[in-house]
Structure 1
Amino acid sequence: MSTSSIPSSSSSQGWVKNLSSMASRIYFFLVILQIPLFRVPCRAGMCTTPLHVTSSQLIANEIFPVAAIKTLLYPGASVNGLIRNVTLPSWDNLLDIDNLTHVKEASPVTDLQRLEVLAGSYLSVAGALLGLLKPGRMSMFGTLLIIWGLVKEGIIGKPVNTDPGTAVYVYPTMVIALICAFSSVKYDVKKIVRNASAPPIARPLQRSSKSKLI
């Protein structure tokens, strides 16, 4: 009976490993190709992806070289350029496409009012990059932070501008990102199966003190 349960456990563990790897790759492409997940005001005007939010902060604070940020932005800008204009963007004008040239002069108040979205974007980008090497929980935490920030903005926040084009919005693709973020987390299937199949251990009854005296 024990020999028949070993192949089932190993096959389940392999299936979950493949699922987490595939989900990590899909999440990576969602982030790196800048698929719109939400719409929120930021230093660059209106940001629609975690990479856009992160890039505006990195350029404004001069944390990373601009060339490294352009490397992250170029795949998404290329895909968008081919879809819209059937042309590849220029490396020199890459920051102009995402309106990132004047983020240093922009007020940081907009981002400080949405710290959950900002922190979640950092974790989402880092989790997408690290997930290619080893899937983890960083993407899941980042996505949950972004969703919580957007929900709090819609429920608690009082938007001053009622223009639908600049209002906070969540795209349906956020559901795909959330599913991929949760699916990319590796679970120890062998431990779960072992705990579920293990019979309860019967403990011997302790004799009471009265019975000992008798």
Structure 2
Amino acid sequence: MAAPPSRWGIRIPYIASRAYFFLIFLQIPLFRVPCRSGMCSTPLEVTSSQLIASDIFPMFAVKAILYPGAFVRGLAVNLSIPSWEGLLEQYNLTSTQLTSAEIDLQRLEVLAGSYFAVAGACVGLLKQGRMSMFGTLLIVWGLIKESLLGKPANTDPAKAAYLYPTMLLALLCSFFAVKYDMNKVQSIAKPLAKPLKSSSKAKLK
């Protein structure tokens, strides 16, 4: 009979998935990268700029996912509450402020990773999975690859791609948010010690 999962084996993914959700939706800066709205520092900003440019989501839906982070940021920075009407202007997300799509196509890993990170943060509230970890790893790999290869070329230090230390926290949360079946892992790791029928040990039985 399989042993029941430990209490911490259940609670750690639960806590980690919610910590990851707050990191994403409260828009804690994780990186710095040029994007369609200027400079983006969170997966939510990268994702929102694409949603606005492609008209996939209605404006109020994009505002709804941006507002919690803007609210917390406003209180933390200058004790102000952002207005709902001017929210898109605050993030440079109006159609006249968005730049060409080429700037995001040069960083496909960061773009795809941001989509997975945002979606994984939402899905993780209901069921812990690997989407958040996959998205975070994509973002990290995309920014490390850019720093190693120097592509796309950038001569302005203020617009250079950069990883903040908080990305390590996001990576750890996404890793621990994965719910592993320890009984299955132990059964795979346990060597099979069944004797062959032709062996003398089997004959003695």
TM-score (norm 1): 0.87
Partner of 1:10: 4
Partner of 1:210: none
Alignment of 1:53-132 (within 5 A): 53-102=46-95, 105-132=98-125
Residue 56 of structure 1 contacts residue 103 of structure 1 at CA under 8 Å; is this kept in 2?
Answer: no
Aligned residues: 200
* Residue ranges of structure 2 left out of the alignment (5+ in a row): 201-205
Larger Rg computed on CA atoms: 1
Q: 1:93 to 1:115 in 2, by over 3 A?
A: same
Partner of 2:126: 133
Residue 44 of structure 1 contacts residue 103 of structure 1 at CA under 8 Å; is this kept in 2?
Answer: no
Deviation at 1:162, TM superposition (A): 2.8
Q: Deviations over 1:43-97 (max 9, x none)?
A: 0000100000000000000000110010000000001100111011000011111
Q: Which amino acid aligns with 1:40?
A: V
- Are 2:184 and 1:191 equivalent residues in the alignment? yes
Partner of 1:46: 39
What is the aligned-residue identity percentage? 58
Give the SS at the match of 1:186: coil
Residue 35 of structure 1 contacts residue 49 of structure 1 at CA under 8 Å; is this kept in 2?
Answer: yes
Identify the range of structure 1 (171-180 vs 96-105) with the bigger mean alpha-carbon deviation: 96-105
Deviation at 1:193, TM superposition (A): 3.1
1:176 to 164, 169, 176: 169
Give the SS at the match of 2:39: strand
Residue 43 of structure 1 contacts residue 106 of structure 1 at CA under 8 Å; is this kept in 2?
Answer: yes
Partner of 2:23: 30
Partner of 1:211: none
Provide the alpha-carbon RMSD of the alignment: 2.0
Q: Which amino acid aligns with 1:93?
A: G
TM-score (norm 2): 0.90
Give the SS at the match of 1:10: coil
Counterparts of 1:149 and 1:45, CA distance in 2: 18
Q: Deviations over 1:152-181 (max 9, x none)?
A: 111113454333221110000000000111
